[in-house]
A = this chain, B = another copy of it.
Amino acid sequence: MEQYEHGGNIYMYDKKIIDFSSNINPLGMPECAKDAIDITSLSKYPDINYVGLKRAISEYTGCGINNIIVGNGAAELIHLFVRAFSIKRPVIPSPAFSEYERAAVLSGGEPILYKIEEKNGFRIDIERLIDMLNDSDAVILGNPNNPTGQALNTNKIKELIFKAYKLNIPVMIDEAFIEFIKDFHQYESLPFLDDFDNLFIVRAATKFFGMPGIRLGYGLGSKKIIDNLDKHKEPWTVNAFADIIGRAIFNDKEFIERSRQYVNEEIKYMLNELKKNRNLHVYDTMVNFILVKLKKGTVHELKEKLLNRGILIRDASNFRYLDEKYFRVAVKKHEDNLKLIKALEETICL
């Protein structure tokens, strides 16, 4: 199971820590989420069709109600996609969110792993990826990808979807982090929904809206895709609070813009500062987390040292193709980021 362990597990630690392992919005959740809570909603089943929630997502994304499915975080939709389309041999650019691979394995499949090369700053070579589609029955791609922080732009995404379309295989693109990208419109796959009925986009409130606790994800696709997913979906997986809060947050344009701006300023600052540390190899990123490689020592040792200073980082050694040299840190509030930078200087450079 260790292979599939996730970040954000602060429950293993007794004392108060600054959690850099969980890559969510440093500004937390929008205020409107708090106002939306209505305790009485618990005494009813959620609307099994989640029409109100889908309407809010429709306004946010521009997709029609019939092109939307909601789920218990992105995780439910990833597993559902694999099951509904009986996917056995998906191409998965890796390292990646471990649930992609796990979903395929649990369904009796054998994922085809595309190794994202470090030498290229963990950027995907679209030609090589497309070549691998011939032997596969699906593509599962994080865009931007976790933990590498890189994204394919819309031109490359289009090439990928088009090739898969010709081969008649479905493409799932996990855009859980896309709103963090400065010029995210240049990386979205939303424009292709109308033309390609093999495309399924997964998103979530988890990361950008700072609410991993709420468990609210959504998927966008052609009616054909969504109908098939609905046929296999378990009922009421989004709870009443997630339903109500979801109807409020996507409309909070001020929060959305402020978050994107804050994260991009901080990431620029952090990249710059961390790169000064001669013991670290710091990879570029487009989003709210940074993948880092130690030049000497192991992450296990570093993690222990930082924990003693009240800082939790994500040991990235259990990601496919990474090893005990790699860790991931999220962008937090500026004052916390300063603490991390200082702690890394003092811990590693000695």
Chain A interfacial positions (CB closer than 8 Å to B): 1, 6, 8-11, 19, 22, 24, 28-29, 33-34, 37, 39, 41-49, 51, 72-73, 75-76, 79, 83, 99, 106, 210-215, 230-232, 234-242, 245
B39 x A212 contact (CB < 8 A): no
CB-nearest residue of chain B relative to A39?
B34
Flag if A6 contacts B210 (CB, 8 Å): no
Residues of chain B within 8 A (CB-CB) of A106 are 83, 231-232
Residue among B37, B39, B215, B232 making CB contact with A236, cutoff 8 Å: B215
A6 and B48: CB pair below 8 A? yes
Contact B9 A45 (CB under 8 A): yes
Say whether B45 contacts A213, CB under 8 Å.
yes
The answer to whether B99 touches A43 (Cβ under 8 A) is no
A211 with B6: CB separation less than 8 A: no
Cβ–Cβ < 8 Å partners of A79 in chain B? 234
Residues from chain B with Cβ under 8 Å of A231 in the complex: 1, 106
For A235, the chain B residues whose CB sits under 8 A away are 6, 75, 99
Which of A1, A34, A211, A235 has the most C-beta atoms of chain B within 10 angstroms of its own C-beta? A235
Contact B237 A76, beta carbon cutoff 8 Å: yes
| Cβ of A33 to closest chain B Cβ, rounded Å | 7
CB-CB under 8 A from A99, the residues of chain B are 234-235
